Amino acid sequence: GTGGTQWQIKSVSAGQDFTGGVGTEFILRTGTALVLDPTGSGIPDLTVGTNLTTGKVVPPNHLILIPRADGRGIRAQTTVVIMHR
């Protein structure tokens, strides 16, 4: 099969946020972004099996999961390009 939802490419300007819905996956391809987490629960970095908390730098080329639609995501520090599904 072809798997799940197709990957989409998105550019996020510096100072803007990207928040996902339940089960959103994303990969930071270029630029610098920080974790945005109003819940305090963090977001899982599935590449290395760690939990990223508010203010941490999102590592490039890591698969990150947004577990719930509760405002978790990233805040771009520079213009960033992400792949998401």
- pLDDT tens per residue across span 31-83: 999 999 999 999 999 999 999 999 999 999 999 999 999 999 999 999 999 99
Q: 1: which residues sit within 8 A by CB, 6+ positions away?
A: none
Burial of 3 (0-12, 13-18, 19+ CB in 10 A): exposed
Q: Distance between CA 27 and CA 61 in Å, rounded? A: 6
CB atoms within 10 A of CB 43: 26
Q: What is the pTM of this model?
A: 0.92
